[in-house]
């Protein structure tokens, strides 16, 4: 599943630079995660980097974008092909 930033976000700016896929951007009020780009860091790291650095634990699995690890790996591979 891709991840989701809840309204508990304090806009601390630490998550955005940690995302290897560029999935995190500043929204109108809080940061947002593009589910088309989020692979939960599958293909890059063992853990989701944004979750690891978030000081308020406001990044959760997105219930509207359920994906298995295999699906996340396929998404990662497709993203790599687009940038190559």
Domain boundaries, the chain: 3-83
Q: What are the two backbone dihedrals, phi and then psi, of residue 59, each rounded to the nearest 5 degrees?
A: -110, 120
Report pLDDT digits (tens) over 19-67.
999 999 999 999 999 999 999 999 999 999 999 999 999 999 999 999 9
Q: For the domain made up of 3-83, give the CATH fold.
A: Alpha-Beta Plaits (3.30.70)
Instruction: Indicate the pTM of the whole model.
Output: 0.91
In 3D, which of 31, 84, 78, 83 has the Cα closest to residue 59? 31
CA dihedral 3, 6, 11, 13 (to 10 degrees): -10
Classify residue 64 by burial, with Cβ atoms within 10 Å: 0-12, 13-18, 19+.
Answer: exposed
- The answer to whether 37 and 82 are in contact (CB under 8 A) is no
């Amino acid at each position: 599943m891709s991840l989701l930033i809840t309204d508990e976000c304090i806009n601390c700016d630490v998550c955005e630079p940690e995302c290897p896929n560029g999935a995190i951007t500043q929204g109108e009020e809080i940061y947002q995660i593009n589910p088309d780009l989020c692979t939960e860091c599958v293909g890059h790291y063992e853990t989701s980097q944004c979750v690891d650095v978030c000081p308020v634990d406001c990044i959760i699995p997105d219930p509207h974008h359920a994906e298995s690890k295999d699906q996340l790996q396929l998404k990662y591979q497709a993203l790599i092909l687009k940038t190559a």
